[in-house]
Chains A and B, each alone.
Chain A
Amino acid sequence: MSRAFLALLLRDLRLAARLGGGGGMAVFFFLVVIAIVPLGVGPDRPLLASLAPGMLWVALLLAALLTLDRLFQADYEDGSLDLLSTGPLPLELVAVAKALAHWIVTGLPLVVSAPLLGVLLNLPSAAALPLTLAMLIGTPALSFLGSVGAALTVGIRRGGLLASLLVLPFYIPVLIFGVGAAAAASGGFEGEAGRQAFLLLGAVTLASFAVGPLAAAAALRANLR
């Protein structure tokens, strides 16, 4: 069973590397959004610095949403999903493998690029490390919660927008605690509050690990039949 899981994970990573699209496009979108913020807000450096953690998180959420729609759809359209469901791996673990692959391909590059793009927003250097850490903890939740939306809309042509509408409300806890964790560390509020935000962010991610695959598999089953 673990061999099947690994085979599926490696196939998805390989496909993503060959086709491009996914991760690279998300990072580029992230870059463009962050680059235009100073144009909209104006070159007020203290203002940009205070906006930076929030703007980076919002742009990261949108970039992650952008790549969700193909998570299951490609496999659904070419019949792979039918065969995946006749394998020894339960659909729940299929969903885990695909969400994990999505995180490695899009979540991780976004996290790595965030502190670099922070420079464009005059992100305080003290905040760069905690922000990146918060994103590292929070982004898996985006992939695992997102997989539910992608699974629900798998049969709908151009269902990406609908998936975004369905998923975005569930991203709000990640956003709130993620920004809280970063702001606390950059001096917004001290000590205990920041630690709590980190713990709550971790709790959201762990909850998404537990709930996401179950819900995604249920949605896939409903769509397959």
Chain B
Amino acid sequence: MTTSDLRLSARDLACERGGRLVFESLEFDVAAGEALVLTGPNGSGKSSLLRQIAGLLEIGRGQIELTGGDPERALGEQAHYLGHLDALKPSMSVLETIRFWALYLGGSAAAAQAALDDMALGDLADLPVAYLSAGQRRRLALARLAAVPRPLWLLDEPTVALDQASVGRLRAFMAAHLAGGGIIVAATHLDLGLGTAKSLRLGAEEMA
């Protein structure tokens, strides 16, 4: 996975939602080992941009390209998308949930167990998801990223509902991903502590 020539770039990107132009002529370049932090007021298109990169939202104009990745797979298949919704089923246990996503996304069952331990959820493995707190649910969603290696992480407010210790764990986790040659694009209001991160401010025109 350490493809050092990995590069995610966008050219002249525009996004339209419900007839409203959210942003236009957006450009960025992120290389392997780099993070891009998206900031901006509510409604400035941070989530929309992440969904566009993941292939979940139509690209109005312009293009997004991942070079140096696996040419056989679509951009969305090389990315982990962590959105506002946790994609968790209340009636499945913690272990069943992570096992399913690991197998579905192309990982292994053994990696699933390790991912739970990474997120300090090992003790809760047999608990149904219905009984998890908001922060624990978030950690379970994050465990997917640890279970299946993918070069590009798209994180939408990854720290929501996390306590201080978990945020610290997430920071180390993200730093390890970057050190391994991965790319992170994150939308956040909090400082994620990624010292070298590039930042992209959306919706600046509206503010001026």
Q: Which A residues are closer than 8 A to B by beta carbons?
A: 3-4, 6-8, 11, 14-15, 18-19, 77-80, 82-89, 224-225
Contacts and interface: CB of A to CB of B under 8 A. Distances in A.
Contact of B83 (A15, A77, A82, A225): A82
A79 B101 CA distance: 13
A82 B56 CA distance: 7
Interface stretch (B3-11, B18-26, B103-111, B191-199): B103-111
Given A18-B91, A19-B91, A78 B104 contact: no
Nearest to A76: B85
Interface residues of B, number: 28
B126 interface: no
Interface of B: 54-58, 73, 76-77, 79-81, 83-89, 91-92, 96, 100-101, 103-106, 144
A82 B156 CA distance: 14
Contacts of B84: 79
| Ranked 3 nearest A-B pairs via Cβ | A79-B85, A7-B103, A79-B87
Q: Identify whether the interface residues of B are mostly helix, strand, loop, or mixed.
A: loop
B77 A87 contact: yes
B92 A83 contact: no
Given A86-B76, A225-B56, A11 B100 contact: yes
Q: Identify whether the interface residues of A are mostly helix, strand, loop, or mixed.
A: helix
A82 B106 contact: no
Nearest to A225: B58
A82 B104 contact: no
B87 to A, nearest CB: 4
B57, B76, B85, B92: which has the most chain A beta carbons within 10 Å? B85
B103 A86 contact: no
A93 B104 CA distance: 12
A86 B55 contact: yes
A87 B91 contact: no
24 contacts: A4-B104, A7-B100, A8-B100, A8-B104, A11-B89, A11-B92, A11-B96, A11-B104, A14-B92, A14-B96, A15-B91, A78-B86, A78-B87, A79-B85, A79-B86, A80-B89, A82-B81, A82-B83, A82-B85, A84-B104, A86-B79, A86-B80, A88-B105, A224-B56
